[in-house]
Structure 1
Amino acid sequence: MRFLKLFVTSFALMCATLVQADDLPKLRVAVLKIGTVNWELDTIKRLGLDKSNGFELVVQGYAGGDASRVAFQGGEADVVVADWIWTARQRASGKGFATFPYSTAVGGLVVPKDSAVQTLTDLAGTKVGIAGGPLDKSWLILRAYAQQEYGMDLKAATEQVFGAPPLIFKTGLKGELGGAINFWHFLAKMKSAGMRQIISVSDAATALGLDPATPLLGYVMKDSFVAEHPELAKGLYLASSGAKEVLGSDDAAWEAIRERMNAKNDTQFTTLRDDWRAGIPAAGPVDEEAAGAMLAVMAKLGGDKLVGEANTLPEGVFLNFE
């Protein structure tokens, strides 16, 4: 198996050297400058998976997710990485955006390692730190879970502290919060530092009858771009799949991106790697019925501020290159 992986990698690199970058169309991807999607994109470029699939990948880093989406909508980028609920909202409003899966990775709720908290009910009267704001999807799913399982209004029973992921990370580690909900990679670091997860968003989603395998994040393109450049759209899909195959099974491939991961120690590095791997989507088309069920929960709890006019799943949200 390892020989096969080395052969595939060598073949991709050989193909890349046979094609000059100037001869290939450039594919511009707008991403959060410090986002974890860069781990995959770096791997694509390092292994020449872009060139072997007929394009040159150009990664455009932005300081925030909003800035990357503005660049995409304004035509400064061909692709953006965003959650599909945003894509559905845009499509429902008349914008022809579509997506294919990047990751199913979601977080959970962690508490200090010496905390007496065992379930969400024990958080009553405490401060809960939440990255992503009041409409954070992990927060909404955990609220729905608390209501169903315990008859608990988690929002009313706790004091919410909203902040940027690094702030929630720091205050959580200092023990200043009863519990914390953060983006998955910050949670990985919090767990590696000793904080204890009492429930994952995946487990909460399952209890709600949702499918946790529904990928949340994806590569988003405009319908017009896909129609005009179908080979580029599929090329990115194949390059992404190839990078996931390598990163999903070859530990050595992670050494090349270790500096990018900003892991402070071996424990953080291993936790980040393993949690990223756990978020690799299953092959094949997205289950649209499952996605529709998740959207219904988001619409109920987040309302128009989150989903806009997308109360049901618009047709054509998901691209399928299988």
Structure 2
Amino acid sequence: MTTYILRRLIQTCIVIVILSYVCFYLMTLMPGDPVDLMISSNPKITAADVTRLRSLYGLDQPSYVRYGHWVSDILKGELGYSRTYRVPVTELIGPRLTSTFILSMAALSFSLLVAIPLGVFSALRPGSKADYIVNFFSFAGISIPSFWLGIVCIIIFAVWIPLFPAGGTQTVGAPDQGFFAELLDRSKYLVLPVLSLSLQQIGRFVRFTRSSMLEALRYDFIRTAKAKGLPRQLIIWRHAFRNALIPLITILALSISSVFSGAIITETVFAYQGVGKLTYDSIVGNDFNVAMVSFIISVAMVLIMNLVADLLYGVADPRISYT
């Protein structure tokens, strides 16, 4: 087990280095570096000033040299400075990570609480009217574009029936009224983004749960358990559902990896101040340091959660061993 984990961690580091360099190189090809922005804002700047500034920022060096300097700064804990917000990246990205974590975990938890019982219910009644209804809404949730779903939620619950705010993270300029008042205020802004994210995730989780349960219910040991007279709930949840967990673990691990990368479209539609919207704004505004740090976090989380999923396979199925 230890050897397997170490090997996977080494592979993860190699993949992060390769992908980060590719992303770094692509970012260097984007128009609008800091010197270009200075030129556009100061028409009196001279060619000598441009040459001096490019040398000062290291923009006259090859991309691999600049990448080496950037990696050495990252290893020292220096994530750079945001051009757009004029603050250090560490100071900027911390609160955004917290907001994205709250949003994504709330949406993921709600999705699982709804989707798993629905998927099991549908699998136990294949071909019934209830099964067709559940499948219809599952496919609808998967197929609906997230930006359209977010706009519809805003129109219905913020315009027609003004129950919740249309966007934002919390009330701007609200006086400090204590922890519970702030929690209630932030909860109001969470409802519509969580609903928008959950409706899509529920459809996906229902489909995976249903297909996995249908396959598990066909196994011989399920027929044996029924023949032995075991209680129905014990057969469903202890025997069938546990063997249906492996595909669910995979899709759940990939979903958890998005907890720290953010839902870019949903956060942008609702103006929710999370990592997803920050990444989008940094790419549009050519905020190099913020975009690269956000990318590294996203890649690292995907790779780490894949490793966690592989380890959980052994918990769900004792027949799986790691060498």
TM-score w.r.t. structure 2 length? Answer: 0.26
> Which is richer in strand?
1
If you compute each CA radius of gyration, which structure gives the higher value, 1 or 2? 2
